Amino acid sequence: MTNLDWRAATRHRLFWPVAVLVALLLINVPFTPGFFAIHVRAGHLYGSLVNILIFSAPIVLVALGMTLVIATGGIDLSVGAVLAIAGAASCLYISKETDQNSLSGVLIAVAIGLGAGLVCGAWNGWLVAGRGVQPIVATLILMVAGRGVAQLITSGQIITINSNTPFGVIGGYWLGFPFSVLLIAVMVTLAVVLTRRTALGLLIESVGGNAEASRLVGIRARRIKLMAYIFCGLCAALAGLINSSNLSAADSNNAGLWIELDAILAVVIGGTSLLGGRFYLGGTVIGALIIETLQNTIFTIGVPTQTNLVFKAVMVIFVFLLQSPAFRAKVFRRRARPSAPAVADAAPPATLTTSEVGR
């Protein structure tokens, strides 16, 4: 019976992503003493796991928005640029403030940053849903142009701001708790409630699964798509604020560089198809955590810097192989083979069929 439960568990969608994440975390243990330890130091939560969570915040957020966009059958390449624009706009406002500690000033800066994200998302959504431009082309425009806009905002400089302002809280600590982790929790909950407690999730999956059928069933696909892109822009902007708050600066050239690819990777690891349709927010979060943990692991086990990317690539391929039923069947069959004939002899023909199905 427990054997059966175990089998059912391995078939769960999230089993392999979670297994990979756990394995990655375990790899860290021999290299980092007290890896799993979490303690309070100077009133703040500290520990390797806490760090991973904090650093994963931007990619979790961006991947979250990306999941919904991909589910509608689209893609958003501009998230990195939007992240940079939001960071630049907020930092510019704060840097011009005479008192950078003023809470109202910081709130306005945050609103400006998020507003920029909403506008960018609406622009993408308008191109895709309103004008019918292919998503990859439509968002490529902002991916390229957006970085230019960000540089324009910062006049090509890196804008620095004071680190001990209320703005610093976004990427730092709030009441001893890492604020960005709180933000992740809020945004994930928001996304889940927005899609699963309303009918939005079903309609998104329908539009992504069969656009023409969705039109003929009376779904206002344009509106749905527009909402997905706007949400994605908002998530990217939030990630930009966290990023700038962490650095106490806005670096238009490097903020969120290539994050769109990591985000897409996280979505795919999480089990959402790039073709659109069914989407899995939980899977995306796990996928993003895997990517961040991998990054962290590369540093802690001391992989030489120049081999970083190759190592990451190999690990990603490994993760995908593990998730492929065909690959698993091949590997695990080889291990299971010696005992198989005995089972087949003893059991009625029905068992034989089930063992054959595994091919």
Partner 1 sequence: MAEPQPVLEMTGISKQFPGVRALSGVDFRLLPGEIHALLGENGAGKSTLVKVLTGVYELDEGRISLNGAPVRFSSPLQSQQSGISTVYQEVNLCPNLTVAENILLGREPTRRGAIRWRELRRRAAELAARIGLELDVSAPLGAYPLAIQQLVAIVRAVGIDAKVLILDEPTSSLDRDEVERLFGVMRRLKAEGVAILFVSHFLDQIYEVCDRMTILRNGQLVGEYPVTELDQVALVQKMIGRELGELEALTGHIRPAVGDPLVETRGLGRKGAIEPFDLSIHRGEVVGLAGLLGSGRTESARLLFGADGADSGEVRIEERKVSLDSPVAAIAHGIAFCSENRKTEGLVPDLTVRENIILALQAARGWTRPIPAAQRDELVAKYITALDVRPANPEAKVGTLSGGNQQKVLLARWLITQPKLLILDEPTRGIDVGAKAEIQKLVVSLSEEGMSLLFISAELEEVLRLSHTIGVLRDRRLVAQIANGPDVTADRILETIASGAGT
Return all residues near 23 (Cβ < 8 A) that are at least 6 apart. none
The answer to the question of residue 343 lying near partner 1 (CB under 8 A) is no
Of 31-39, 176-184, 212-220, 232-240, which part binds partner 1 (CB under 8 A)? 212-220
Residues 300-329 that bind partner 1 (CB under 8 A): none
| Residues 311-336 as b or e (16 or more Cβ within 10 Å = b) | ebeebbeebeeebeeeeeeeeeeeee
Cα R_g (the chain), whole angstroms: 23
Shorter beta-carbon distance to partner 1: residue 230 or 298: 230
In angstroms, give the least distance from the CB of 337 to partner 1: 17
Among 32, 95, 102, 210, binds partner 1 (CB under 8 A): 210
Specify whether the CB–CB gap between 94 and 165 falls below 8 A. yes
Binding mask 189-208 for partner 1 (x = CB under 8 A): --------xxxx-xx-xx--
Contact yes or no for 343/351 (Cβ under 8 A): yes
Which one of 34-42, 167-175, 215-223, 300-308 is the stretch in contact with partner 1 (CB under 8 A)?
Answer: 215-223
Report CA 111 to chain centroid distance, whole Å: 23
> According to the binding rule CB under 8 A, does residue 209 interact with partner 1?
yes
- Name which of residues 221 to 260 contact partner 1 (CB under 8 A): 224
CB of 353 to partner 1, least distance (A): 5
Closest separation between CB of residue 204 and partner 1, Å? 9
Q: Is 3 in the site for partner 1 (CB under 8 A)?
A: no
Q: Does 1 bind partner 1 (CB under 8 A)?
A: no
185 — phi, psi (to 5°)?
A: -60, -45
- Give the interface size with partner 1 as a residue count (CB under 8 A): 29
Query: Does residue 353 bind partner 1 (CB under 8 A)?
Result: yes
Using CB under 8 A as the binding rule, whether residue 278 contacts partner 1 is answered as yes
Q: Is 282 in the site for partner 1 (CB under 8 A)?
A: no
For the bound state, the minimum distance from the C-beta of residue 6 to partner 1, rounded and expressed in Å, comes to 18
SS3 state of residue 212: helix
Q: Is 217 in the site for partner 1 (CB under 8 A)?
A: yes
The residue from 99, 212, 302, 339 that contacts partner 1 (CB under 8 A) is 212
Report which secondary-structure segment, H or E, holds 213.
Answer: helix 211-216
Which residues, 6+ apart, have CB-to-CB distance to 185 below 8 Å?
none
* Residues comprising the chain, all counted: 359
Is residue 213 involved in binding partner 1 (CB under 8 A)? Answer: yes
Cβ neighbourhood burial of 305 (10 Å; 0-12, 13-18, 19+) = exposed
| Contact pick of 43, 218, 302, 338 for partner 1 (by CB under 8 A) | 218
CB under 8 A: which stretch of 25-33, 39-47, 213-221, 228-236 binds partner 1? 213-221
Q: Binder to partner 1 among 220, 307, 313, 332 (CB under 8 A)?
A: 220
The DSSP H or E segment spanning 41 is strand 39-41
Among 219, 235, 269, 285, binds partner 1 (CB under 8 A): 219
Residue 164 has φ and ψ, to the nearest 5°, of -95, 45
The three state secondary structure string of 169-211 is HHHCEECCEEHHHHHHHHHHHHHHHHHHHCCHHHHHHHHHHCH
Return residues touching partner 1 (CB under 8 A). Answer: 197-200, 202-203, 205-206, 209-210, 212-220, 224, 277-278, 349-350, 352-353, 356-357, 359
